[in-house]
Amino acid sequence: MSKNLLGQISDIDLRLLKVFRTVVEAGGFAQAEVELNVSSSAISASMADLEKRLGLRLCQRGRAGFALTDEGRQAYQALLQLHTALDGFRTEINSIHQQLKGELVIGITDNLVTLPHMSVTRALAALKAQGPAVSIDIRMLSPGIVERGVVDGQLHLGVVPQVQKVSGLVFHPLYSETSSLYCSAEHPLFACDDADIDLGLLARQEAVGQSFAPSPEMKKLLEQLNVTARASDREGIAFMILTGLYLGFLPDHYAERWVQSGQMRALCPRQMSYEMEYAAITRKGVRPNMVLDTFLQALALGQAQA
């Protein structure tokens, strides 16, 4: 028999090698029929084909029974090494899939860190626990910029007020936030009792609004006030309130630090407050991303346990 060098190993070769290993370990063609679920003649044809492809005489077969040749024994040992290598490759690939690596870029509306729910914080901690090598990039941005960043792919995920549905985005509800109308200790209304404050008195005070789109509830309340200044975020609104010259709406959890220190108070909270729904947003049709998927799963789990 000519000694041919085997070229690239194909799927056909792997199938024939599987037949060879089964026959050797079963002890013959007849014994391998059940495991391979093919006839003895089909096994014999496969073995003949493999010998031709390898250029080796692998076994003796006939009335005397099945027996490996010296070349067959060497080929079988090489086959075991091949299967060990394939198993190692499969294990390594599975390991790669199980390891969280990469970057998660998140855009968040400012001043959510003081929310008591802490859903985003806990989800970030869970993500790092599963993937210590994951790199996290958090960017504090206005809601409109966050939405555009997610749509154009600059951000993997955003956390924004759910004011209106934006096409191209998937909204994952998170939590609601209560905001009230505040003034500082230097403002004339700070010492007034809520019972002595009516809408007319509030409308005569200067107020600070926001430059980003308000929710319908906030817009309705702002229309009743004398808005003479605007800020791009809640920190800017807080700055203006603390001048003692303006009224403004702040999330209760964010204003709590100044309320506790006596620097701010809420005015007529029963009438001058509103709820804002927040959501995590992702882009529709985004390619599968193991890091993002893991973070979203942690976020959903945190919401279910809240």
Q: Which residue has the tokens 């037949």?
A: 19
Neighbours of 70 (CB within 10 A): 9
- What's the confidence (pLDDT) of residue 94? 64
* Residue 76 sits in the same domain as residue 107: no
* Residue 55 sits in the same domain as residue 186: no
* Residue 51 sits in the same domain as residue 184: no
- Give the residue from 62, 58, 27, 29 showing the smallest Cα distance to 44: 29
* Residue 127 sits in the same domain as residue 200: yes
Out of 76, 98, 120, pick the residue that ends a domain.
98
- What's the confidence (pLDDT) of residue 105? 92
Residue 141 in domain: yes
Residue 1 in domain: no
What span, in angstroms and rounded, lies between the C-alpha atoms of 167 and 151?
9
Torsion of CA 227, 230, 231, 236, to 10 degrees: -50
pLDDT tens across the length of the chain (306 residues): 444 545 677 888 888 999 999 999 888 888 888 888 888 889 989 999 998 988 899 988 777 678 899 998 999 999 888 888 887 777 677 666 667 788 999 998 877 766 767 788 889 999 999 888 899 999 988 888 899 899 888 899 999 888 777 788 999 988 888 999 999 999 999 999 999 999 999 999 999 998 776 788 888 999 999 999 999 888 999 999 999 999 999 999 999 999 999 999 999 999 999 998 888 999 988 777 888 999 999 988 876 665
- What's the confidence (pLDDT) of residue 95? 62
Residue 5 in domain: no
> What pTM, to 2 d.p., does this model score?
0.61
- What's the confidence (pLDDT) of residue 2? 46
Radius of gyration of the chain (CA): 35
- What's the confidence (pLDDT) of residue 290? 85
* Residue 93 sits in the same domain as residue 114: no
- What's the confidence (pLDDT) of residue 14? 87
- What's the confidence (pLDDT) of residue 224? 93
Q: Tell me the H-state helices in 9-69.
A: 11-26, 29-36, 40-54
- What's the confidence (pLDDT) of residue 306? 57
| Counted domains in the chain | 2
* Residue 228 sits in the same domain as residue 269: yes
Q: Which two tokens stand for residue 71?
A: 């070349």
* Residue 201 sits in the same domain as residue 76: no
* Residue 60 sits in the same domain as residue 106: no
- Give the residue from 136, 174, 127, 134 showing the smallest Cα distance to 155: 136
* Residue 70 sits in the same domain as residue 183: no
* Residue 114 sits in the same domain as residue 157: yes
Residue type, 213: A
Q: Do 247 and 241 touch, CB atoms closer than 8 A?
A: yes
Cα atoms found within 13 Å of the Cα of residue 9, Cβ hemisphere only: 10
Residue 271 in domain: yes
Residue 114 in domain: yes
CATH code, domain with 85: 1.10.10.10
* Residue 138 sits in the same domain as residue 25: no
- What's the confidence (pLDDT) of residue 1? 43
What residues make up the domain containing 28? 11-98
* Residue 217 sits in the same domain as residue 144: yes
